[in-house]
């Protein structure tokens, strides 16, 4: 049944910090109440957009508990749990499960990336899956980790009954097609960016974990809905409409821009946690122009 929950659009939600650098629980609840009314399928916490590397363990568990409490009961909660060692990843994954996470999204260990051969990563993920209290979603993000989990390793891992899917942020649609064709039929493939969401769906992806869904949840969900209905021209129109906005809040300006966009929409983005710096005011008008062109910001 796990793969059936991994369909549709999931936002990797940013962590709201107050000006004193504490997690702002009131702002989090306010954001969640807005997202809860959208066409999203669930939530991802402790992803790269959630600034997970900058959070203490207690903060991570607090976030999981808070989101699980405020999210619709039937929306799955996915938590990023990858750490540098296999044992630490197992321990934190099970703590995340106790806090309310239903899936673990796990980056490959990357500090000793020169030794992270395919056989090493396969062993790591299999040991994790054997010991984890919740199903595992592989997280391939070579831009940050320097490791590109190849198609053959992913296909082999898909045979494990507790490894139920992958989020791929590489943008290699040919690789996604191969995985979808060769992996276990119940293995879910999730696009890691709205920039290639439609191409990923066209080769069999079941959904996406999309930063843009934090500020344009219904536009992202519309692409998925049009594909499900066989309305490919309409899906392409929406896909083309959001490309520049997605680039602005991901590869071009990143988390600070995403948080600034949330502020402009009446959500709470707030400051990132240092060493990241707030979005420059000098670029604010350009960001707003891009959001307006996509139909995300209406003022």
Residues marked as catalytic: 167
The distance between the two most distant Cα atoms of the chain, rounded to a whole number of Å, is 52
Alpha-helical (H) ranges within the chain are: 2-5, 25-35, 57-70, 86-99, 118-131, 142-145, 151-157, 173-182, 197-202, 217-228, 232-247, 254-264, 284-293
Please answer whether residues 46 and 64 qualify as being in contact, where contact means their C-beta atoms are separated by less than 8 angstroms.
yes
Residue whose C-alpha is closest to residue 50's, from 36, 68, 63: 63
* Residues in the chain, overall count: 299
Helix (H) or strand (E) holding 79, with range, is strand 77-80
Residue 188 β-bridge partners: 165
* Tokens representing residue 87 in the block: 């044992």
Alpha-helical (H) ranges within 38-117 are: 57-70, 86-99
Helix (H) or strand (E) holding 44, with range, is strand 43-45
Q: How do 77-80 and 43-45 pair as beta strands?
A: parallel
* Tokens representing residue 289 in the block: 């122009």
């Amino acid at each position: 049944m796990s793969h059936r929950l991994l369909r549709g659009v999931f936002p990797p939600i940013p962590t709201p910090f107050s000006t004193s650098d504490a997690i702002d629980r009131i702002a989090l609840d306010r954001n969640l109440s807005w997202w809860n009314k959208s066409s999203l399928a669930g939530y991802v916490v402790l992803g790269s957009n959630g600034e997970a590397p900058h959070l203490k363990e207690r903060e991570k568990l607090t976030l999981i508990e808070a989101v699980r409490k405020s999210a619709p009961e039937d929306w799955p909660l996915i938590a990023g749990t990858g750490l540098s060692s296999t044992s630490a990843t197992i321990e934190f994954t099970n703590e995340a499960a106790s806090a309310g996470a239903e899936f673990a999204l796990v980056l490959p260990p990357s500090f000793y990336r020169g030794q992270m051969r395919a056989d090493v990563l396969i062993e790591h993920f299999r040991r994790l899956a054997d010991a984890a209290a919740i199903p595992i979603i592989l997280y391939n993000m070579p831009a940050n980790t320097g490791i590109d989990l190849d198609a053959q390793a992913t296909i082999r891992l898909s045979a494990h009954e507790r490894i139920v899917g992958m989020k791929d942020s590489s943008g290699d649609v040919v690789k996604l097609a191969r995985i979808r064709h060769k992996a276990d039929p119940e293995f879910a493939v999730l696009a890691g960016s709205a920039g290639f969401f439609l191409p990923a769906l066209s080769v069999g992806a079941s959904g996406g974990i999309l930063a843009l869904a934090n500020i344009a949840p219904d536009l992202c969900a519309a692409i998925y809905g049009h594909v499900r209905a066989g309305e490919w021209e309409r899906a392409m129109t929406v896909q083309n409409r959001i490309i520049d906005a997605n680039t602005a809040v991901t590869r071009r300006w990143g988390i600070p821009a995403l948080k600034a966009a949330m502020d402009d929409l009446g959500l709470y983005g707030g400051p990132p946690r240092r060493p990241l710096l707030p979005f420059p005011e000098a670029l604010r008008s350009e960001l707003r122009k891009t959001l307006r062109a996509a139909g995300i910001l209406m003022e």
